[in-house]
Amino acid sequence: MRLHALVVLLATLSAPVAAQHYLAKPQGIGGNPGPAHNYVCPNVERGSALDCYLDAVRHLYRMCKHVKSIEIIEFGYERSEDGTNAAKSQYCLDKQKGNIATPYQTALKEARLSKPIADRLRALHDYWLASLAALKWRSGESDEQYQLRTTSVFPSLEDQISAIRATNAEARASAAAPAAASAKAKR
């Protein structure tokens, strides 16, 4: 049990050191410097893979929501899914699913010692995927209904993210307590 707690503590403490090593590095384009922050999780400069993933979930949903809004502005609700009119949002969905794959897998690996965190991550990811798929306008839906349905995702994401952060904090605290007690006993 003590060894398990020590492993959890060490994994937790070492995660920020190697954070975001799995993301593409900013590159210059046409002589211009790359972005100051990465595209996938722009609000997390340093932090764990879990922090990056939790930021990416919000950010990448927002990006696809914006793209869908552009299609709706261009073609109107009724025609936004006709023929190739939905190509931009379909490309966004495919691109963001690819963009989030590595942060998601790395966050799961980081949470491997805590089943509750891993379970919550899987549930959040499933919800995120379903929310992306639900960005399509539904026949007969008013503008107000569409906006309410697609923006109500954000509070739900925040609730799930807060629950993951709380569970993670509890896991860290419970892992740190036995390790600290063991260190004191050795003195």
pLDDT confidence of 123, banded at 50, 70, 90? very high
pTM of the full structure: 0.76
Confidence check: pLDDT of 173 > 90: no
Confidence check: pLDDT of 150 > 80: yes
Domain ranges of the chain: 2-186
pLDDT confidence of 172, banded at 50, 70, 90? confident
Three-class secondary structure of residue 32 per DSSP? strand
Share of the chain above pLDDT 90, in %: 56
In 3-state terms, the chain is what percent helix, strand and coil (to 5)? 70, 0, 25
Three-class secondary structure of residue 29 per DSSP? strand
Residues 6+ apart with CB under 8 A from 25: 34
Q: CA 154 to CA 173: how far, in whole Å? A: 28
In DSSP terms, 29 is beta-bridged to 32
In DSSP terms, 32 is beta-bridged to 29
For the beta carbon of residue 29, count every other beta carbon within 10 angstroms: 9
> Residue 133 to residues 65, 68, 74, 83: CA-CA distances in angstroms?
11, 11, 20, 17
pLDDT confidence of 142, banded at 50, 70, 90? very high
